[in-house]
A and B are shown apart, each in its own frame.
Chain A
Amino acid sequence: MRWERKDMLGIRDLSREEILLILDTADSFIEISTREIKKVPTLRGKTVVNLFYEASTRTRTSFEIAGKRLSADTINISSTTSSVVKGETLIDTARNLEAMNPDVIVIRHSAAGAPHMLAALVKPPVINAGDGAHEHPTQALLDMMTIRSKKGRLENLRIAIVGDIAHSRVARSNIHGLKTMGAQVVVAGPATMLPRDMALMGVEVHSSLEKALTGADVVMMLRIQIERQQQNFFPSLREYARRFCLNGRNIGLAKEDVLVMHPGPINRGVEIAPEIADGPFSVILDQVTNGVAVRMALLYLLTGGRGF
């Protein structure tokens, strides 16, 4: 199995073999971050542009560190400090960036499909770092890497994803990836936050946290986007927390060796109780560590020689 794609736009397109290749490559990259000299010369002379049209600390920093540990030059452009505020369109920004010969463009954008449009337009590989409510492929890959390293497999695990499923690109990418890898996916959230056709994706749908938790090998708690509260998807944060907060009591419904995951940033006491976020089942910080390795793997696989 060799990598054949120019871009990394979504998990939905990926085969099981492609996901395995990325995860295996990422496993080999983990060791580099534990060395005293955390750098290999692989991408010397290559330039990685991080084009972020949405706020991000974790993902942007993670891509930046991944590029640097491979010796690439990484450049960050965020919408608030760039010509975007002067009204430049995405297409014009992309054409101008391309004229500076970057080797990879990483993009996060609030519009679904923005990375796809960019990929069709520019020569260098494009990595989707989150587009609207569509996909966040690198998050799903680091989640699958974390589960596989802790459980030794992905097949036949019962994985509960809880929260605002409808607006979550993390949930969407994870559902595609986990289903491809043979896991059993269960989602739960307030009815207003569950997409109607969810069952078509082959997942079990519940409107109660307890039902989703029962017998789960892994629980992924999604961040409640507090800014959405004005849109009346749920009556109040307190009410949400009462029904959907993962805490020391309801965690007992899951398997004894359950893994608790969260893509961050966490709202303590809203979707996850502090004693769970910091507790023995939590692998939230492993997710962050693995995120760097997954992004190193993608930068390595996508930067080919003479191009495609």
Chain B
Amino acid sequence: MKNKKRIVMDAEGIDRSLTRIAYEILEKNKGLNDLVLIGIRTGGVYLANRLREKIAAIEGVEVPMGILDITLYRDDLSRIDRKPRIGKTEIAFSLDNLKVVLVDDVLFTGRTIRAAMDALIDFGRPRLIQLAVLIDRGHRELPIRADFVGKNLPSSLWEDVSVNLTEKHGADEVVIEPEAGE
């Protein structure tokens, strides 16, 4: 059954995980003081938005949010032939002395997060950076670990893990399937 598409998390599962992560963020940071959420394009932006709504529902306060496109900080740009499209980065405030929670959908090799941290430092000197992800699928290539994880999903390197979200894909689900073209 390994070569078939499997749904490993449904809409309710995603929602419960995000609720728990929202509480964990509040607990670990002892409230909302100086806290900001930064979503990594594109999946992380939708998740950061939802975490922001959940935090607002719990605490009655909207935390500031920013959007980060990490393309210009990738470590493989000089190796690929055709350049990826660049999205807009929207961080309208200095990150000096703020507690930044970086949000992404899937944590895999860790290279995206490395690039994201480099980018964040260009917007000031945050007091700390934490990482929240919906899925941790393992296979790290850099010494990076998430502070908040929705689900640990052991996967093989020959599988694709996708987080589909209503905002972009019409439905909430996490899917694991054999790599395209295999």
Residues of A within 8 A of B (CB): 2-4, 21, 24-25, 27-29, 31-32, 35-37, 39-42, 45-46, 70, 300-301, 303-306, 308
**A304 vs chain B, min Cβ distance (A):** 5
Contact, CB under 8 Å: B86 / A300: yes
Candidates B72, B88, B90, B94; contact of A42 at CB < 8 Å:
B72
- Looking at B78, B89, B119, the one whose CB has the most chain A CB atoms below 10 A away is B78
Assuming the contacts A40-B72, A41-B118, A305-B80, asked whether A31 and B86 have C-beta atoms less than 8 A apart, the reply is no
Assuming the contacts A28-B88, A301-B83, asked whether A41 and B73 have C-beta atoms less than 8 A apart, the reply is yes
Candidates A36, A45, A300, A303; contact of B94 at CB < 8 Å:
A36
Q: Is B122 an interface residue (CB 8 A)?
A: yes
Interface secondary structure of A, over-half rule: loop
Complex CA–CA separation, A70 to B72 (angstroms): 9
Contact, CB under 8 Å: B122 / A28: no
Contact, CB under 8 Å: B80 / A31: no
Q: With contacts A29-B86, A40-B119 known, what are 4 further pairs, Cβ within 8 A?
A: A2-B83, A3-B82, A24-B85, A304-B82
Candidates A31, A40, A41, A303; contact of B90 at CB < 8 Å:
A31
Complex CA–CA separation, A36 to B94 (angstroms): 9
Contact, CB under 8 Å: A305 / B79: yes
Chain A residue contacts of B78, Cβ below 8 A = 45-46, 303, 305
Chain A residue contacts of B82, Cβ below 8 A = 2-4, 304
Contact, CB under 8 Å: B83 / A300: yes
Chain B residue contacts of A39, Cβ below 8 A = 122
How many of B's residues come within 8 Å of A, CB to CB?
A: 22
Smallest CB-CB separation from B96: which chain A residue?
A: A36
Complex CA–CA separation, A29 to B71 (angstroms): 11
Contact, CB under 8 Å: A25 / B81: no
Contact, CB under 8 Å: A31 / B88: yes
**A195 vs chain B, min Cβ distance (A):** 37
Chain B residue contacts of A303, Cβ below 8 A = 78, 83
Contact, CB under 8 Å: A40 / B83: no
Contact, CB under 8 Å: B73 / A27: no
Smallest CB-CB separation from B82: which chain A residue?
A: A2
| A interface footprint on B64-77 (CB within 8 Å = 1, 0 otherwise) | 00000100110001
Contact, CB under 8 Å: B90 / A28: no
CB-CB contacts below 8 Å: B106-163 with A: 118-119, 122-124
Complex CA–CA separation, A304 to B45 (angstroms): 28
Q: Is B87 an interface residue (CB 8 A)?
A: yes
**B115 vs chain A, min Cβ distance (A):** 9
Contact, CB under 8 Å: B90 / A305: no
| Top 9 closest pairs, chain A to chain B, by CB | A40-B72, A28-B86, A2-B82, A42-B72, A37-B122, A305-B81, A28-B88, A305-B79, A304-B81
Chain A residue contacts of B81, Cβ below 8 A = 304-306, 308
Chain A residue contacts of B83, Cβ below 8 A = 2-3, 300-301, 303-304
Assuming the contacts A42-B77, A45-B78, A305-B81, asked whether A35 and B122 have C-beta atoms less than 8 A apart, the reply is yes
Candidates B73, B89, B94; contact of A31 at CB < 8 Å:
B89
Complex CA–CA separation, A27 to B86 (angstroms): 9
Smallest CB-CB separation from B87: which chain A residue?
A: A28
Complex CA–CA separation, A4 to B119 (angstroms): 28
Contact, CB under 8 Å: B89 / A25: no
Candidates A3, A40, A308; contact of B73 at CB < 8 Å:
A40
Smallest CB-CB separation from B121: which chain A residue?
A: A37
Contact, CB under 8 Å: A40 / B122: yes
Complex CA–CA separation, A3 to B81 (angstroms): 10
Smallest CB-CB separation from A27: which chain B residue?
A: B88
Chain B residue contacts of A301, Cβ below 8 A = 83
